[in-house]
Amino acid sequence: MSTYLISNARPEGGDPSDLLVVDGTVTAVGAPGSLDVPEDAEVIDATGLIALPGLVDMHTHLREPGREDAETVETGTRAAARGGYTAVFAMANSNPVADTAGVVEQVWQLGRDAGWADVHPVGAVTVGLEGERLAEIRAMAESRAAVRMFSDDGKCVHDPVLMRRALEYVKAFDGIIAQHAQEPRLTEGAQMNEGAVSADLGLAGWPAVAEEAIIARDVLLAQHVDSRLHICHLSTAGSVEIVRWAKERGVTVTAEATPHHLLLTDELVRTFDPVYKVNPPLRTDEDVQALRRAVAEGTIDVIGTDHAPHTAEDKECEWSWAAHGMTGLETALAVVQHTLVDTGLIGWQRVAQIMSRRPAEILGLTDQGRELAPGAPANIVLWDPTGATPVDPSRHASKARNSPYRGMTLPGAVRATFYRGHPVVRDGELATPLAR
């Protein structure tokens, strides 16, 4: 049995408190020095640190099976722990695709064996992500992985009949369809956001309406069948308006924004550095500001990293040939502090909501995202808001180096991550995994 006293932490930015962790559970919380502490407790000095529930990422690419040269479940969850995450949802676009019970169980077991964070596989909506027929949704839901979210992320479920059938199917077990909103005919050959910059550079543009048209269609389908819909990596001001309208009408829709869409704009594409090539593309400053306001007001429910690791071969090449995607697990909380907290848009309670509690609620997790109160599982991140995170991808735990923040210094730093009461990160560095 392990016992830790986390002393003088500020739960969700509140008053300093002591937290007693015994055998993986928060057993007591009180004013500093007020708790009855066992003699064998190890004291963790958290003076000045903010204690948040372990972060939950609804949108991670771990690449295994099939692209272990870019990332593995082991390295990806190491990166997650370094970023303060204690649970991640692994998207289905592996090779083979996670469209069967066998593949999702493999990913789930790899996560348990690694011991750095909970890994919840996301099942594919369609076989092979091909958009032609539904995958083995029921079998994945009834597997040991107990899949509840299904997505063809990387591709859009563009056929409205298939999308309707998927929404109807998951309704039977309170599942959720997570849509990559991209009308394929409107984005053929697209290289970046359609706008003034694409016109200047002569690159084929991806219009905002390609995202917005799918979201508009799908919120109406979700309303029609009374099922749950989640919008992945929402990126435009128009998409915000559609989601807001749908929520006002009572549609059961949730939405996520990525850290990079809260900070970076399409002006960076002028460098032709493929590290800035991502799907959906970086948008305009007007879109960035609309997304920030939407997170603050609650139209956007969660922050999803869309951590998309790639090999150097796939990213360090000509722009038109480069793969889409950016790493993000190890920098997400720092970007959120920079764009939302330090700008005064939200406080730390809202950070806990969008990065931990709300994703756990959406996905039915009862052992993640809990308020740090007696009886809660001890999934905890200790964050130093006065620290700094110099971004050097060569020092990241991820196998990949395609961080768009390289060379930047972001505010704040993870000092410790407790996963089920076990410190997987201490003093900002990886410690030891949880042994099961």
Write the pLDDT tens digit of every residue in 104-163: 999 999 999 999 999 999 999 999 999 999 999 999 999 999 999 999 999 999 999 999
pLDDT band at 220 (very low <50, low <70, confident <90, very high): very high
Cα–Cα distances (Å) from 114 to 72, 108, 214, 312, in that order, read: 10, 10, 37, 25
pLDDT number for residue 93? 97
- Domain boundaries, position 419: 3-51+374-430
Residue range 340-350, pLDDT digits in tens: 999 999 999 99
Distance separating alpha carbons of residues 2 and 24, to the nearest angstrom: 8
Cα separation, 228 vs 170, whole angstroms: 8
pLDDT of residue 389 exceeding 90, the answer is no
The single residue of 306, 342, 367, 427 carrying the catalytic annotation is: 306
Mean pLDDT for the stretch of residues 255-270: 98
The domain boundary residue, chosen from 323, 343, 363? 363
Task: Kindly tell me if the per-residue pLDDT of 379 is higher than 70.
Answer: yes
Q: List all residues 6 or more positions away from 88 whose beta carbon is below 8 Å from its beta carbon.
A: 56, 57, 60, 62, 76, 77, 80, 117, 118, 119, 120, 329
Asked if the peptide bond before residue 65 counts as cis, ω within 30 degrees of 0, the response is yes
Which parts are annotated binding residues for Zn(2+)? 59, 61, 153, 180, 233, 306
Q: Is residue 369 included in any domain, yes or no?
A: no
Torsion, CA 108, CA 112, CA 114, CA 116, rounded to 10: 100
Domain C-terminal end among 342, 363, 384 = 363
Q: What is the pLDDT averaged over residues 183-194?
A: 97
Binding residues: 59, 61-63, 93, 153, 180, 233, 279, 306, 310
**Whether residue 60 sits in one domain with residue 47:** no
Q: Is 436 domain-assigned?
A: no
H/E segment holding residue 76: helix 73-82
Last residue of a domain, one of 318, 340, 363: 363
- Is position 306 annotated as part of the catalytic site? yes
Exposure letters 365-387 (e unless 16+ CB within 10 A, then b) = beebbbebeeebbbbbbbbbbeb
Q: Structurally, how many domains does the chain consist of?
A: 2
Answer yes or no: do 291 and 405 share one domain.
no
Mean pLDDT calculated for residue range 411-432: 98
User: Does residue 363 surpass a pLDDT of 80?
Assistant: yes
Helix orientation angle between 208-225 and 237-248, rounded to the nearest 10 degrees? 10
pLDDT tens sequence across 41-78: 999 999 999 999 999 999 999 999 999 999 999 999 99
pLDDT score, position 356: 98
Residue among 112, 103, 108 at smallest CA distance from 65: 103
Given a cut of 90, is residue 181 above it in pLDDT?
yes
Binding residues for substrate: 61-63, 93, 279, 310
Which residue spans within 239-359 are E strands per DSSP?
253-257, 302-303
Residue 213 sits in the same domain as residue 359: yes
Q: Please indicate, yes or no, whether residues 347 and 397 belong to a single structural domain of this protein.
A: no
> Nearest-CA neighbor of 239 among 297, 282, 279, 181?
181
Res 109: pLDDT: 98
Report whether 140 contacts 101 (CB < 8 A).
Answer: yes
Do 153 and 180 belong together in one domain? yes
In a domain, 407, yes or no: yes
Q: Is residue 115 part of a domain?
A: yes
What was the pLDDT predicted at 318?
96
User: Domain for residue 368, yes or no?
Assistant: no
> Residue 1 — pLDDT band, cuts 50, 70, 90?
low
